[in-house]
């Protein structure tokens, strides 16, 4: 599984963070890791990312919080989480023994909240780094998403960077007109890596009652339906920035993961795929290994951004 001797090399580097393979569990779909005990050996994963964490505990949105859609699902969990104190006391003791790097996904309602939670987690033993979820309403800017504007992205990421010396990955939202300026703003503010995409905002309606299916009315679309969007954004972003890009969105198989890697992702995250098959991570790692062997490629890193049409397309557009 991933680490077979003399097989192709699966290890990748995200700037300062070294992973034994490029497959991570995405935030919000893998709990705090402990929920998957006995289902998948956590040490087989490249990394795991915990459920989005805020300073204070949050109850989340009213039910229903999930809805199935063709080729995907909508969720409106509302970032329910235990808050930093319970996380450090109750979740970290287990996570320290996970056997793979643990990244903590964080969010806040203001720049100061982001900076404060980053500062308090930055030096904690057993945390390999932070994933900064900027798909949250900026309360001081009237509720528009931090992720929506390059300026607010730059400001919030700069504050987090000043507060935390650890590895920082900034998670971008697909709910923007042009992803590239936003990605460049995060890079300029000091991100070590970028992950994309978060969910696409959507909704579903019960036509008998003419009511929204989700308690929150709108929710985030994930799953196979969003893979083409994620791929396109990873492809665009990875050509524009110098820091590593991590691909997420609709990955359920090794083939899906390989598409992202070829598009330019140095690593990938698996999200709602866990709800279809909780062992999906192991399956994908084995499948990547198999592909590399069959193709005679000695190192997964050499596949990153190897899309053949990319060069020609860019030239023909210029």
Ligand X SMILES: Cc1cc2nc3c(=O)[nH]c(=O)nc-3n(C[C@H](O)[C@H](O)[C@H](O)COP(=O)(O)O)c2cc1C
Active site residues: 136
Nearer of residues 150 and 247 to ligand X, judged by Cβ: 247
Total of residues contacting ligand X (CB under 6 A): 25
The verdict on 251 binding ligand X (CB under 6 A) reads yes
Distance between CA atoms of residues 248 and 20, nearest Å: 18
Q: Confirm or reject binding of residue 2 to ligand X (CB under 6 A).
A: no
Residue of minimal Cβ distance to ligand X = 28
Using CB under 6 A as the binding rule, the residues of this chain from 165 to 194 that contact ligand X are 171
List 15, 64, 77, 240, residue binding ligand X (CB under 6 A): 77
114 close to 107: Cβ distance less than 8 angstroms = yes
Interacting residues with ligand X between 274 and 313 (CB under 6 A): none
Q: Is residue 29 part of the contact set for ligand X (CB under 6 A)? A: yes
- 222 scored as a contact of ligand X (CB under 6 A): yes
In whole angstroms, how close is the CB of 4 to ligand X at the nearest point? 26
From candidates 61, 138, 158, 198, binder to ligand X by CB under 6 A? 198
- Are the C-beta atoms of 302 and 281 separated by less than 8 Å? no
- Distance, C-alpha 220 to centroid of its chain: 14
Peptide bond into 70 cis (omega under 30): no
Q: Are 281 and 21 in contact (CB under 8 A)?
A: no
- 27 near ligand X (CB under 6 A): yes
Does the protein bind ligand X through residue 79 (CB under 6 A)? yes
Site string for ligand X, 112-151 (x = CB under 6 A): ---------------------x------------------
Q: How far is CA 126 from CA 33, 132, 311, in A?
A: 13, 17, 41
Q: Which residues bind ligand X (CB under 6 A)?
A: 26-29, 51-52, 75, 77, 79, 105, 133, 171, 198-199, 222-223, 226, 248-251, 270-273
């Amino acid at each position: 599984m991933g680490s077979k001797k003399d097989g192709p090399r699966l290890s990748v580097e995200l700037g300062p963070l070294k992973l034994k393979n490029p497959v991570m569990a995405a935030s919000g779909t893998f709990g705090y890791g402990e929920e998957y005990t006995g289902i998948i050996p956590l040490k087989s994963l490249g990394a795991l990312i915990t459920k989005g964490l805020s300073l204070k505990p949050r109850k989340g949105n009213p039910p229903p919080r999930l809805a199935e859609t063709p080729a995907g699902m909508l969720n409106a969990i509302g970032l329910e989480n235990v808050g930093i104190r319970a996380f450090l006391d109750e979740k970290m003791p287990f996570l320290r023994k996970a056997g793979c790097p643990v990244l903590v996904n964080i969010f806040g309602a203001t720049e100061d909240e982001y900076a404060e939670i980053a500062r308090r987690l930055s030096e904690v033993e057993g945390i390999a780094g932070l994933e900064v979820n900027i798909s949250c309403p900026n309360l001081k800017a009237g509720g528009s998403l931090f992720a929506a504007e390059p300026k607010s992205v730059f400001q919030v990421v700069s504050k987090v960077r000043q507060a935390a010396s650890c590895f920082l990955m900034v998670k971008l939202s697909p709910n923007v007109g042009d992803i590239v300026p936003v990605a460049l703003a995060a890079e300029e503010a000091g991100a070590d890596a970028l992950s994309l995409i978060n969910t696409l905002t959507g909704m579903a309606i019960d036509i008998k009652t003419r009511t929204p299916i989700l308690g929150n009315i709108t929710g985030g679309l994930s799953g196979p339906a969003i893979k083409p969007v994620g791929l396109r954004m990873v492809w665009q972003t990875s050509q524009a920035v110098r820091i590593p890009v991590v691909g997420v969105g609709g990955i359920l198989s090794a083939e899906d993961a390989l598409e992202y890697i070829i598009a330019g992702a140095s690593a990938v995250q698996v999200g709602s795929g866990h709800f279809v098959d909780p062992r999906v991570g192991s399956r994908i790692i084995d499948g990547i290994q198999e592909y590399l062997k069959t193709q005679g490629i000695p190192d997964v890193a050499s596949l990153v951004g190897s899309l053949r049409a990319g060069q020609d397309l860019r030239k023909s557009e210029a």
